[in-house]
Amino acid sequence: MSFMERLVIIVIGSLLCLTGTSIGLKHNYGDALSKSILFFEGQRSGKLPPSQRMTWRKDSALQDGSLVDLAGGYYDAGDNIKFNFPMAFSTTMLAWSVIEFGRFMGPDLNHTLNAIRWGTEYFLKATSVPGFVFVQVGDPYADHNCWERPEDMDEPRISFAVSKDYPGSEVSAEIAAALAASSIVYRKYHLGNSASLLQRAREVFDFADKYRGSYSISLGPRVCPFYCDFGGYQDELVWGAAWLFWATKLPYYRDYINQNIQNVRNICEFGWDSKDAGINVLLSRIHLNKSSSYMPFMADADKFVCSVLPESPSLSVSYSKGKLITHIQKKLIDTKTKILHQCFFVCSFVNVWCGLLFKPGGSNMQHATATSFLFLVHASHLRKTKRLINCGGNIFVSRKRLRELAKSQVDYILGSNPFNMSYMVGYGPKFPLKIHHRASSLPSIVNHPSQIHCKEGSTYFESQNPNSNLLIGAVVGGPFINDSYEDARPDFVHSEPTTYINAPLVGVLAYFSGHRHHHHK
C-alpha cells in the first residue's frame, strides 16, 4: 500500500469521525463488568446460597454424584450438563482476571471471588477420590433431547471419571491449572484455603502427567463431539505446570516446562481446547527464572499477536467488515481499489468501529474475548520491558496498539457494530432476547411451580416470543461474519452463551473500567 493510499484512509476515517457518521459509542465498562460476572450466577448448579442475586434460578441437580457428592459447579452453556473441561478453563480465566485486573473490579471483586469459589469447591469434590478425577455429570444425549429447566431434570445424571486405565490428562491438568491459579488469588485476598487448593492442584497434576492420555479416547462418545479435545493433552500439561510454577516457584515445574514446551505447537490458538498462546503469554508474564530462558516464550507470544493484528503480514484470522468499512463501501470508495482491503489501518489512527475477530467453528465470540484478554496481559509485559513487537513488513506494534485492538473487540460486543446491538444480554437498549438457553427460555419456578417435563419445553423452544427470564450478562456466540445477527433460539452456534465466552471478558472489562479516561497509557 502506497503512502498516498494510507493517507486517504486516514483522512476518510477522520472525516467520518468528525461528521458523526461513525463516532464510537461511549460504553459503561463498569456496568458491563457487573453484568458479565452476574451471568455466572445464572449458570450455577447445586444448592444456591442466600446471596444469590439472579433469583429466578433455583436449586438444581442436588443429587449429582454417586461415589462422591458432585452437587455444585456450573452448567457450561444453554444446556444442563456439567462439562468439567470448559468449566475448569473458565475458572482458570476468572482467577487470572483477578490476578491481573482485580484492582480495577471495585465492588465486583467480591462477586468474582465468589464465582471462582463456586468453581473450586466443586473441583475439590471432583478430585476427592484418589485415583479418579470426575470430568462430567449428565448424559449429553439425553439432556440435549430435552428442553427443560435445570430445576426439573429427571433424566439420568451419570457421572464420568478418568483414571489410570481411562486417562484424561487434558481435563485433569486443566483442573490442576484452575486450582493453582485460584490458590494464587486466595493467597492475595486472604480467603484462607490457598494452601489446600495448591496441594490438590499438585496431586491432580501428578495424576494427569503420570497417566497420560486423552479423555476424548478413553470416554469417547460421552465427551465427543461436545467437548472433544482436538488439540491434544500436551498443552494442558504445560499450562498446568506453568500455573504451578507461578504458585510454588519450585524448580521442578520450571524444568518440566522446559522439557515439554516443544510439544506446544499451536502458538496462535487459545481457548478451552488449546492453551498454547496463553502458555506463552503467561510464561512471558512470570519470566520463569528471569533469565534469557523465557525469551522463546516471549517470541512465540509476539508471533501470536502478529497472527491476530489486521495490519500484520502474518495475519491468520478473519475480521468482519465492521461499521466503518460499511460506510466507506457505500459512500466513498471504489471496491476495486486496494484501500478497502487495507481499511483496518484506520483503526490505528482514529477511534472508529472496526470488525469482529473470526475463527472457524461455533461460539465465535470466545475468540474475541480470549484474544483481547491475552493482548492486555501482553501489553502490560511490553510496558515493563519497554519494547515493540516486530511483525515484519515494517510493522512495529506498541502496547497501545494491543489495547486498541482489545478495545475494538469489547466495543463491538457492547454495541459498536453495524447491527447497533449489544451481544450481552441486559446491556444497552438492544440485545438478544431469544438466546439458546433452557433456563432462560422457560418460565421460572417462581411463576410456574409445576414441573415442565422433557418434551413439554419444546413449545417454549419453538416460540417466537422473547425468553421468559433475562440471563443478565450472558454474551452469545455472536453475529455472522457479514455482521448480521438473527435472534433465533434454534441457531445455537450464534445465540448460545457460554461460560468460556464470559470468563476472559470479566478481566477485559475490569481493565477498561479502570482505564476509562487513559486506557492507552
What pLDDT sits at residue 350?
A: 38
CA distance 98 to 176: 18
CA distance 407 to 515: 11
Q: Active-site residue among 79, 143, 209, 487?
A: 487
Omega of the bond prior to 107 within 30 degrees of 0, cis?
no
391 within 8 A of 503, measured Cβ to Cβ:
no
The three cell numbers of residue 144 are 440435549
Helices (H), 131-191: 140-144, 169-189
Give me the DSSP letters along 41-102.
Answer: HHTB-BS--TT-S-TT---B-TT--SSS----SB--SSSS-EEHHHHHHHHHHHHHHHHHHG
Angle at 21 between CA 352 and CA 356, to 5 degrees: 40
The three cell numbers of residue 167 are 486417562
pTM above 0.95, yes or no: no
178 within 8 A of 119, measured Cβ to Cβ:
yes
Tens of pLDDT, residue by residue, the chain (521 residues): 544 444 344 444 444 433 333 345 789 999 999 999 999 999 999 999 999 999 999 999 999 998 899 999 999 999 999 999 999 999 999 999 999 999 999 999 999 999 999 999 999 999 999 999 999 999 999 999 999 999 999 888 999 999 999 999 999 999 999 999 999 999 987 667 899 999 999 999 999 999 999 999 999 998 999 999 998 999 999 999 999 999 999 999 999 999 999 989 889 999 999 999 999 999 999 875 555 555 789 999 999 999 999 999 999 999 999 866 544 444 444 443 344 444 444 444 433 447 999 999 889 999 999 999 999 999 998 988 889 999 999 999 999 999 999 999 999 999 999 989 999 999 999 999 999 999 999 999 999 999 999 999 999 999 999 999 999 999 999 999 999 999 999 999 999 999 999 999 999 999 999 987 554 43
Active-site residue flag, 170: no
What pLDDT sits at residue 154?
A: 86
Active-site residue flag, 487: yes
| Domains of the chain, earliest start first | 3-64+72-514 (1.50.10.10)
Q: Active-site residue among 111, 436, 437, 494?
A: 436
The three cell numbers of residue 291 are 533469565
Cross-strand pairs, 161: 134
Active-site residue flag, 436: yes
Cross-strand pairs, 137: 82, 159
